[in-house]
Amino acid sequence: MKRKSQVGSPHPLFYLMLVLSCIIVLVPVLWMISTSVKNETELFLSPPLLWPEKPTLAAFISVFNDYPFADYFKNSLVVVIFATSISIGFSTLAGYGLSRFKFRGRASFLTFLLLSQMFPSVMLIIPYFKIMRTAGLLDSNPGLIVTYISFTIPFCTWMMYGYFKSIPKDLDEAAALDGAGHVRTFFSVVLPLTLPGIVATSVYAFITAWNEYLFALILTNSEDQKTIPIGIGQLIGQYKIEWNELMAASIYSTIPLMVLFLFLQRYLISSLTAGAVKS
Amino acid sequence: MATAKLDNITKVYDNGFTAVSNLSLQLADGEFLVLVGPSGCGKSTALRMIAGLEEMSEGDLYVGDRLLNDIEPKNRDIAMVFQNYALYPQMTVAQNIGFPLKLRGVKGTERKRQVHHAAEILQLTEQLSKKPGQLSGGQRQRVAMGRAIVRQPALFLMDEPLSNLDAKLRVQMRADIADIQKNLGVTTFYVTHDQVEAMTMGDRVAVIKDGLLQQVDEPEKLYARPENVFVAAFMGSPSMNLYEANLSLHNEKFKVHLGDQSISIPTRLTERHTTLGNYDQQTIVVGIRPEDFEDAALAPTHPDDQQLTVTVSGREALGAETLIHFPLNAPSIDTGDPDALDELASIASGRCTARFDANSKARIGEQIRTNVTVENMHFFDRETGLVI
Amino acid sequence: MNKSRKSLVAAARSRVGLTFVTPALLVMLLLVVYPLLYGLYVSMFKTNLLNRWDFVGLTYYAQSLSDPGFLKSLFTTSLYAILVVAGHMIVGTGLAVMLVSDIKYRVVFRALLILPWLFPDVVVALIFRWIFDPIFGLFNFGLSAVGLISEPVAWLDNPFWAFVAVVLATIWKGYPLIMLMVLAGLQSIPRDRYEAAALDGAGRLLQFRYVSLPGLVAVLGVAVVIDFVWWFKHFTIVWLLTKGGPIDATNVVSIDIYRTAFQSFNFGLASAMAVIVFFICLLFAIVYQLMVASDET
């Protein structure tokens, strides 16, 4: 990322515009934080207070008491972690197979992977509703896990395929001549080199699944099976909206993504670089 | 250690392109054979077929008495040094070198001993705990060698191992690899596009072009007795000067008419060109190596009728010698070497290169006389390109 | 024997390759292909998905294509997607161009500007709904503070402004991805090309026009198609901000289908509508494929 491609110093206006952009980004975020630490009286003041006079973390505690937020959180974690792990496992294998071997249907499979990104999820939702009901997986974590695997696998496979392609085939060949079989080559030689790719792909899968709303909305029903997005989303349907609790819940649901991004941003951005430049 | 035999090996790709056709070669036990040719001539494909990384379309491959056609690469007992080394980036030097041993079930302490032994040979002992990313190009090259030699394979394959090194290091590694190969005595098949590497390293050199084997011989013989125009032009730098010329025979002397000048050669000096007499009054191709020219001013006793009068158009003083360029008014030859674009251009302009002694006073624009060592002249059939 | 030898080795390798791919392939067949086909099947039935399956053929397709409501929702969706994509491209490219220059605090700016991408759709929708709240919202407070309005405006209850709000919220949420893609594209353009242009006398604008843009065409083209398809199918932000209202003003096609299926329980009609959307997206997918293909040659 050290490489810079624009000659000359930046235009003075750049700073102004960047600062303005950051304000536009930050205002909603700060408003969310400010709201979450208000008490109920300060919440409904008009004109609103930019920052509460008596900040309180009460909302952060009451979401757990007033709503089954712990259940939502648990469900989200279970569903997302299982779906991500299975997706990554399968798509890593598939990416290696696609990048290293020729077989019938390989090209069609790759095309289908790309095309499947174009399918509207609304098209899948009615079949999924019916299939999950028939399979008895409606309103259950496994039902959501299966669903999330279905839409993370295509893009994870595509990303992993890209990573494997970027690793020279010479290494596989060297390993073969050194006496390694296919499985050994995969695990000892190639897989360790794709770790950054696996990390980045996992984060994408994690974010996608963590944010998913529509399928969870239709495939879950009882409170103890809902995920965070559904839990938060339905707070708004109530007669009196407790915005401080809502914003506290929003912060809870965003924190895992922020943490992931903070620790892994190097991998994520370089993986985007790879993808963007290649395609 | 073993002999190796390539028997009519052919590679035809799915799109119908023939990369290698009917390649037959035999390597003696412990021999260093260099396969040399311009880019895209099929030499790497040939190597990869021996390794088993590419399937052979036809033909048989033996190492020792073992037919390898259907054997997977990992079971061939062949080691290969790749052009870009193909070191495992996540492993240390020791782990890289030890990897083939590990796969063969060599246990810890014994493996360590053998890795250290290989590292000593290659002067890598200091580097053993580093990763490939921390090494210089030359060191990486050695690690790649180490991974190959540590397991004492039946056959070494090397795919342009020096092409990623800078010029100075290349010269040194050339000698080092040749030394190591001699000491270990492993039969080696080495592929390069660099004729200097071929000449200096190989026990024998096989020249290949467009997938077809041109000539296999010891380096000196290949240089002195090229069997066709391509080999003549490809081996040696600067290249052999090749021109069309008319031949006539008078009084036991051949007269070679190069444009408006001619050179006389007593027939006794052309005895190895047994059929040259058949080309009386015909157009042939003559080849003169740059070193077979000399400034007449430095060797005034040379016979007059073995000289050319030329006008110097270029001069490169190299210290130990001086290269002189001059136009020759005779049609030049396309040797079919795709890499020799600049040389081709110089040939097209009819430019001839001579290697004079450093004492030569010849200057650009001067008209000078140059001697020709006629007994070293080469003669080829104009149609077939084969030596006469 | 040579022939059989060749095919034997190739067959062995192809078997290994297939083995690696099989788990993912099975998942795709079972969880993507089968449901897609099943959706196609449902679209030809009048059904409650339980015990009633009356075959109606292509009736629902004819019905939806002649239904002004559905056509209007397609139009609304297209407009929404076009505006959103245009917003993403302008904001994303603009910010990327600024970020790629030798600007100070680059890392800080980049980290802040990526933030919206990390917020779940649900959260984005809720934040904006709260900001646009007529009485307690920040937006009206800001506008009245600078004297632009005197009375609180119920933005989300006005068909025009609700649509604008939905588009703005979506632009806010989605531009970082485009920004990162363009940033990567810009960084892949070798610096010496700018130096050459500068020596040739090109200023900042001309450099952008003759060096950056040509280098970005491929990235931008792909980004436009992916982004368009992505937001064309979008549901969550719109649903949570406006529920498709007021009076259908933000009734994008995903909401239309959701309502038809899970509020009117007309699964067949909803499936037919979904299939139509699928073909629209497929059209774009084909455009995308062609672009990728021409890019690789």
Give per-residue pLDDT as tens, C178-236.
998 888 888 888 888 888 888 887 777 888 888 888 878 877 887 888 888 889 989 99
Instruction: Name every chain A residue with its beta carbon within 8 A of the beta carbon of C27.
Output: 90, 149-150, 153
What stretch(es) of chain B map to CATH 3.40.50.300?
4-234
**Does C210 contact A at CB distance below 8 Å?**
no
Q: What is the pLDDT of residue A279?
A: 29
User: Which chain C residue lies closest to B52 (C-alpha atoms)?
Assistant: C9
Does position C10 have pLDDT exceeding 80, yes or no?
no
Facing A193 at nearest CB: one of B76, B89, B147: B89
Beta-carbon pairs below 8 A across chains A and B = 56
At the fourth CATH level, which superfamily is domain B4-234?
P-loop containing nucleotide triphosphate hydrolases (3.40.50.300)
User: Which chain C residue lies closest to A217 (C-alpha atoms)?
Assistant: C236
CB C246 within 8 A of CB C162: yes
CA distance C218 to chain B (A): 30
Task: Kindly state the average pLDDT of the residues C41-49.
Answer: 87
Amino acid at C287: V
Q: Helix or strand or coil: residue B5? A: strand
Task: Kindly state the average pLDDT of the residues A149-162.
Answer: 90
CB atoms under 10 Å from CB of B304, counted, come to 9
CATH of residue A116's domain is: 1.10.3720.10
CB C17 within 8 A of CB A100: yes
Instruction: Name every chain A residue with its beta carbon within 8 A of the beta carbon of C116.
Output: 25
CB atoms under 10 Å from CB of C196, counted, come to 14
> Nearest-CA neighbor of A14 among C152, B379, B44, C97?
C97
CA–CA distance, B17 with B223 (Å, rounded to integer): 31
Q: What is the pLDDT of residue A271?
A: 57
Our separate counts of H helices and E strands in chain A read 13, 0
Q: What is the pLDDT of residue C295?
A: 57
Query: φ and ψ at B89, to 5 degrees?
Result: -65, -30
Query: φ and ψ at A47, to 5 degrees?
Result: -65, 155
**Does C202 contact A at CB distance below 8 Å?**
no
* Token output for C178: 């485009």
pLDDT band at B118 (very low <50, low <70, confident <90, very high): very high
Tens of pLDDT along B23-67? Answer: 999 999 999 999 999 888 889 999 999 999 888 889 999 998 899
Does the bond joining B238 to the residue before it have cis omega, within 30 degrees of 0? yes
Q: What is the pLDDT of residue A9?
A: 66
**Does B75 contact C at CB distance below 8 Å?**
no
Tell me whether residues B75 and A179 touch, CB distance under 8 A.
Answer: yes
CA–CA distance, C261 with C270 (Å, rounded to integer): 5
Tens of pLDDT along A35-90? Answer: 888 887 787 776 777 787 778 887 888 888 888 888 999 999 999 999 999 999 99
Tens of pLDDT along A84-129? Answer: 999 999 999 999 999 999 888 898 898 888 778 777 777 788 899 9
Q: What is the pLDDT of residue A191?
A: 92
CA–CA distance, B102 with A131 (Å, rounded to integer): 50
Please state the domain count of chain A. Answer: 2
Q: What is the pLDDT of residue A216?
A: 93
**Does B146 contact A at CB distance below 8 Å?**
no
Q: What is the pLDDT of residue A2?
A: 38
* Token output for C232: 């064309």
> Nearest-CA neighbor of B88 among A92, A184, A93?
A184
Flag whether A4 is in a domain: no
Query: φ and ψ at B226, to 5 degrees?
Result: -65, 140
CB C48 within 8 A of CB C220: no
pLDDT band at B221 (very low <50, low <70, confident <90, very high): very high
**A68 and A99 part of one domain:** yes
Q: Which chains touch B (3 or more CB pairs under 8 A)?
A: A, C
Tell me whether residues B69 and C5 touch, CB distance under 8 A.
Answer: yes
CB A25 within 8 A of CB C112: yes
CA–CA distance, C260 with C47 (Å, rounded to integer): 13
**Does C94 contact A at CB distance below 8 Å?**
yes
* Token output for A218: 């239709």
CA distance C264 to chain B (A): 57
Tell me whether residues B73 and A170 touch, CB distance under 8 A.
Answer: no
pLDDT band at A7 (very low <50, low <70, confident <90, very high): low
* Neighbouring residues of C256: CB distance < 8 A, sequence distance ≥ 6: C69, C70, C73, C244, C273
Flag whether A258 is in a domain: yes
Q: What is the pLDDT of residue A63?
A: 83
Find how far residue B217's CA is from the centre of its chain.
Answer: 11
CA distance A138 to chain C (A): 14
> Nearest-CA neighbor of C133 among C165, C106, C163?
C165
**A15 and A72 part of one domain:** no
Instruction: Name every chain B residue with its beta carbon within 8 A of the beta carbon of C8.
Output: 70
| DSSP calls for A87-148 | HHHHHHHHHHHHHH---TTHHHHHHHHHHHTTS-HHHHHHHHHHHHHHHT-TTSHHHHHHHH
pLDDT band at C26 (very low <50, low <70, confident <90, very high): very high
**Residue located via tokens 């989605």:** C174
For the domain spanning B241-380, the CATH number is 2.40.50.140
CA–CA distance, A51 with A255 (Å, rounded to integer): 21
User: Which chain A residue lies closest to B151 (C-alpha atoms)?
Assistant: A178
pLDDT band at B337 (very low <50, low <70, confident <90, very high): low
**Which residue out of C27, C100, C226 would a mutagenesis test of the A interface target, given it has the greatest number of A Cβ atoms within 10 Å?**
C27
What ipTM, to 2 d.p.? 0.85
Instruction: Name every chain A residue with its beta carbon within 8 A of the beta carbon of C126.
Output: 232-233, 236, 246-247, 250
**Which residue out of C7, C8, C9, C14 would a mutagenesis test of the B interface target, given it has the greatest number of B Cβ atoms within 10 Å?**
C9
Q: Helix or strand or coil: residue C153? A: coil
Q: What is the pLDDT of residue A3?
A: 40
CB B386 within 8 A of CB B380: yes
Q: How far is CA B200 from CA B82, B193, B220, in A?
A: 20, 13, 10
CA distance B7 to chain C (A): 13
* Token output for B175: 């000698």
* Neighbouring residues of B179: CB distance < 8 A, sequence distance ≥ 6: none
CB atoms under 10 Å from CB of B226, counted, come to 24
CB atoms under 10 Å from CB of B148, counted, come to 29
CA dihedral C37, C43, C46, C51 (to 10 degrees): 20
Flag whether A31 is in a domain: yes
- Examine the fold and report which residue of A41, A56, A71 is the final residue of a domain before the chain moves on: A56
CA–CA distance, A64 with A84 (Å, rounded to integer): 26
Helix C138-145 vs helix C121-131: crossing angle, to nearest 10: 40
Domain that holds residue A46: 10-56
Tell me whether residues B70 and C5 touch, CB distance under 8 A.
Answer: yes
Angle at A209 between CA A204 and CA A210, to 5 degrees: 95
* Neighbouring residues of A225: CB distance < 8 A, sequence distance ≥ 6: A71, A75, A139, A140, A141
CB atoms under 10 Å from CB of A141, counted, come to 18
Q: What is the pLDDT of residue A239?
A: 64
Mean pLDDT of chain B: 88
Does B9 or B164 have the greater pLDDT score? B9
CA–CA distance, B361 with B379 (Å, rounded to integer): 30
Instruction: Name every chain C residue with its beta carbon within 8 A of the beta carbon of B57.
Output: 2, 6
Flag whether A3 is in a domain: no
**A126 and A200 part of one domain:** yes
* Neighbouring residues of A47: CB distance < 8 A, sequence distance ≥ 6: C141, C144, C145
Between the two ends of chain B, the Cα-to-Cα distance in Å is 39
**A118 and A83 part of one domain:** yes
Our separate counts of H helices and E strands in chain C read 14, 2
Tens of pLDDT along A186-236? Answer: 999 999 988 888 988 898 899 889 999 999 999 998 888 999 999 888 887
Tell me whether residues C184 and A261 touch, CB distance under 8 A.
Answer: no
Does position C107 have pLDDT exceeding 90, yes or no?
no
B302: left (phi over 0), alpha (psi -120 to 50) or beta: beta
Q: Out of B315-329, C48-62, C77-91, C112-126, which region has the weakest mean confidence (pLDDT)?
A: C48-62
Flag whether A48 is in a domain: yes
Percent of chain B past pLDDT 70, that is, above it, reads 96
